[in-house]
Amino acid sequence: MNTTADPISGVAEDSLFQSERYGSYAYEVPVTSGAYTVRLHLAELYWEGAGERTFDLLVEGQVELEEIDLFSQAGHDGAFNHVVEEVVVNDGTLNIELEGKQDAGTLSGFAVYSADGQLDTSVPEPSCKGYVGITYDDGPVTNTSTLVNLLKEHNLTPVTWFVWGERIGGSTAIIEQMMSVGEVQNHSFTHPDLTTLSYQQVYDQLERTSQALQDAGAPAPTLYRPPYGTQNATTQRAAADLGLRAIIWDVDSADWNSASTASIVNAARDLQDGQIMLMHDGYNTTNDAVAQIAADLEARGLCPGRIDPASGRAVAP
């Protein structure tokens, strides 16, 4: 028996399903007779190698996934989603069964939609178990709108942008776009190592950027990220005088250092509740990671949040 106190998303009565029988088990979802779409959320949360767990997954008696190996499909902690359309239920119960081949089957969650696309009311939407700070530095750049659209498409919002002041160039349109998916905050005006500058120079770098953001229609920034993450007593004093809290990061995507999309996706799997991840605006590798990062966070019950200026941690938006 393997039990967990974690809520299983997409199940009306958690207690019915939170103990699994080793090997095979089944979900019985009460629904009115009709046709449904079933979205299955799977992830390998335990094993760290291929071939350690394989199982069949059946919906209404039909094999939908045969000897699926989640690690091979999506790695450790990676999301694997599968949609089954046109599931016809005649007996008032929608059955989902897992039959273990190697080790037991595992299912992170599921949602059942009626034919008109509405989430069936008997199955609540997954909730957030925690929040993470998704941050993009150094924009705006020429293809910022590509990233904005990807973030919208995959619901990886809100994010926090640390904007390079000089690059705003008086453009309210691009700042407006960035604000449509999150908050715009301060990343200095010309991106120097602030620890090499005088108090007045640091103050000017930050003050000019906060002003440029407000001129472009943004609220007064409350956060700043020092370029290269470097700080000293002088930068801390200037930032404090401007009411800005320094935000570094817990997880570095290393996209600035030619990390591959797979490596960026993998880095995001280290994120824990409250933590913050560093990425950059402008890299195709970073943009290509958005879909999988969004799916992985969802599978782990984590949601993007805003960064709280009081605590410096990611919190509910």
Three-state secondary structure along 220-243? Answer: CCCEECCHHHCCCHHHHHHHHHCC
Classify the C-alpha dihedral 198-231-170-309 as positive or negative: negative
Classify the C-alpha dihedral 227-233-239-240 as positive or negative: positive
- Judged by CB under 5 A, the residue of 138, 207, 298, 308 near Zn ion is 138
Nearer to Zn ion, 138 or 183 (CB): 138
How far, in Å, are 70, 272, 297 from residue 301 at the CA level? Answer: 18, 10, 6
Exactly one of 137, 255, 296, 308 is catalytic; name it: 137
Exactly one of 77, 138, 280, 281 is catalytic; name it: 280
Angle at 201 between CA 199 and CA 203, to 5 degrees: 70
Burial letters for 158-183: b for 16+ Cβ neighbours within 10 Å, e otherwise?
A: bbbbbbbbebbeeeeebbebbbebbb
Nearer to Zn ion, 74 or 264 (CB): 264
208-227 positions binding Zn ion, by CB under 5 A: 227
Tell me if 64 contacts Zn ion by CB under 5 A.
no
3-62 positions binding Zn ion, by CB under 5 A: none
191 part of the active site: no
Asked whether the beta carbons of 211 and 163 are under 8 A apart, the reply is no
Q: How far is the CB of 304 from Zn ion (least distance, A)?
A: 20
Q: How far is the CB of 282 from Zn ion (least distance, A)?
A: 11
- Judged by CB under 5 A, the residue of 60, 97, 137, 183 near Zn ion is 137
Nearer to Zn ion, 278 or 302 (CB): 278
Q: Hey, what's the torsion of the CAs at 178, 168, 211, 186, to 10 degrees?
A: 60
- Closest residue to Zn ion using C-beta atoms: 137
Q: How far is the CB of 170 from Zn ion (least distance, A)?
A: 21
Q: How far is the CB of 227 from Zn ion (least distance, A)?
A: 5
280 part of the active site: yes
Cβ atoms within 10 Å of 190's Cβ, excluding its own: 13
| Residues designated as active site | 137, 280
Residues that bind Zn ion (CB under 5 A): 137-138, 227
